[in-house]
């Protein structure tokens, strides 16, 4: 088990190294002169040259990459080209925390609902209940996030004003009521993206387990169907689902770009859009690296969790 984890961690580090090279190379292809973009078209050649020297933009690309990578590893992520020339790291970490709040809220809503729908569809296989759940889950998955968001904003936030739900979401305070009030609509929008996939995966896993001999044997021994499903079937059927949920958390950290912009929520995805618009090089690099790291970490966590929950894999390691 230890060797497996060490191999996976080593693979994550290699992945991050290759990703950093790709990110740096792509950001170097951004069109336009960064110095002129910051200072404006009327900037003097002396001012432009001074800014390039300040940010090391005149250095060879390999030297810029090594300086940037070393700074990123040690916590110096550079300074923003725009605004108050503020450090990038606290800005990115603040927005990361906001996105994590939204991701947690989304999983709290979507996981029980999608698993419950998947189990119900499996237990009612080939009935109208199964068909209805399949149609509903696949329908909401097919809707783009911005369409779902606009429907919820106009139908709930604006159409049902008595509920007091804001059309634009702010960072919630510590109390649970404000968490629900600020994040319920964007969380529902993100939930629809995961709902169909997790529900269908759960349904397939439960149906597959229900057809296995040990389930028939337990039923013949007189065990109640609820006991068979809860204590035996779900334990095995939910293994793939749990790993997918873990991976989904990594996707939610950086994959909520559209949703955060629809609800004007100050998360990492919204900051990424701002960085692209402003051609803010250091900010763009840092956001992308953090997003890739969390996605890779989520994959690592899913692999380790699957091994821990599946004794057969653990014995083969």
Inter-residue contact 296 to 20 (CB < 8 Å)? no
Inter-residue contact 183 to 98 (CB < 8 Å)? no
Considering only 122-131, 166-175, 191-200, 214-223, which range has the smallest mean pLDDT? Answer: 166-175
- Please give the pLDDT value at position 132: 92
Q: How far apart are CA 163 and CA 285, in angstroms?
A: 40
Q: Choose among 233, 214, 229, 243: nearest CA to 309.
A: 243
Reported pTM: 0.81
| Cβ neighbours, 10 Å, residue 95 | 23
Give percent of the chain with pLDDT exceeding 70. Answer: 90
Continuous H helices in 75-165: 88-123, 128-142, 145-152
Environment class of residue 81 by beta-carbon count within 10 Å: exposed (0-12), middle (13-18) or buried (19+)?
buried
Assess whether pLDDT exceeds 60 at residue 260.
yes
Hey, which residues does 87 pair with through a beta bridge?
Answer: 79
Inter-residue contact 317 to 4 (CB < 8 Å)? yes
Assess whether pLDDT exceeds 70 at residue 315.
no
Give the SS3 label for residue 87: strand
What is the mean pLDDT of the segment spanning 149-158? 77
What is the mean pLDDT of the segment spanning 223-238? 80
Q: Which helix H or strand E contains 124, and what residues bound it?
A: none
Q: How far apart are CA 249 and CA 163, in angstroms?
A: 29
What is the mean pLDDT of the segment spanning 311-317? 53
Measuring CA to CA, how many Å separate 37 from each of 43, 145, 272, 310? 10, 32, 18, 54
What is the mean pLDDT of the segment spanning 103-126? 89
* pLDDT, tens only, 28-69: 776 666 777 666 677 777 777 777 777 777 778 888 888 888
Considering only 9-18, 146-155, 164-173, 253-262, which range has the smallest mean pLDDT? Answer: 164-173
What is the mean pLDDT of the segment spanning 91-107? 88
Assess whether pLDDT exceeds 70 at residue 161.
no
Alpha carbons within 13 A on the beta-carbon side of 48: 11
Q: What does CATH list as the number for 96-280?
A: 1.10.3720.10
Environment class of residue 301 by beta-carbon count within 10 Å: exposed (0-12), middle (13-18) or buried (19+)?
middle
- Please give the pLDDT value at position 227: 80
- Please give the pLDDT value at position 83: 59
Q: Whose structure tokens read 């139908």?
A: 155
Cα 81 off chain centre by:
27
What is the mean pLDDT of the segment spanning 190-197? 84
H helix count then E strand count, the chain: 16, 0
Assess whether pLDDT exceeds 50 at residue 317.
no
């Amino acid at each position: 088990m230890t060797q497996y984890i060490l191999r996976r961690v080593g693979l994550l580090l290699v992945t991050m190294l290759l990703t950093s090279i790709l990110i740096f190379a792509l950001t170097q292809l951004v069109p336009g002169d960064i110095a002129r973009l910051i200072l404006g078209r009327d900037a003097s050649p002396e001012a432009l040259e001074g800014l390039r020297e300040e940010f090391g933009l005149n250095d060879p690309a390999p030297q810029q990459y090594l300086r940037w990578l070393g700074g990123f590893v040690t916590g110096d992520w550079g300074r923003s080209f725009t605004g108050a020339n503020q450090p990038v790291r606290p800005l990115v970490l603040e927005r990361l925390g906001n996105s994590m709040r939204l991701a947690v809220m989304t999983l709290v809503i979507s996981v029980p609902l999608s698993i419950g729908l998947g189990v119900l569809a499996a237990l009612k296989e080939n009935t109208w209940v199964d068909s209805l759940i399949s149609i509903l889950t696949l329908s909401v998955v097919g809707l783009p996030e911005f369409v779902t968001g606009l429907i919820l904003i106009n139908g709930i936030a604006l159409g049902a004003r008595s509920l007091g739900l804001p059309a634009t979401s702010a960072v919630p305070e510590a109390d649970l009521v404000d968490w629900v009030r600020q994040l319920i609509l964007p969380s529902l929008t993100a939930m629809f993206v995961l709902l169909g996939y997790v529900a269908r995966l759960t349904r397939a896993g439960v149906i597959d387990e229900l057809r296995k001999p040990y389930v028939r044997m337990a039923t013949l021994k007189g065990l109640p169907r609820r006991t068979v499903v809860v204590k035996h079937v779900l334990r095995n059927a939910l293994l793939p689902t749990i790993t997918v949920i873990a991976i989904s958390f990594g996707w939610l950290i950086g994959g909520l770009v559209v949703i955060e912009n629809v609800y004007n929520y100050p998360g990492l995805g919204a900051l990424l859009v701002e960085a692209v618009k402003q051609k803010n090089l250091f900010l763009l690099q840092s956001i992308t690296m953090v997003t890739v790291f969390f996605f890779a970490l989520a994959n690592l966590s899913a692999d380790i969790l699957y091994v821990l929950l599946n004794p057969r894999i653990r014995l083969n390691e």
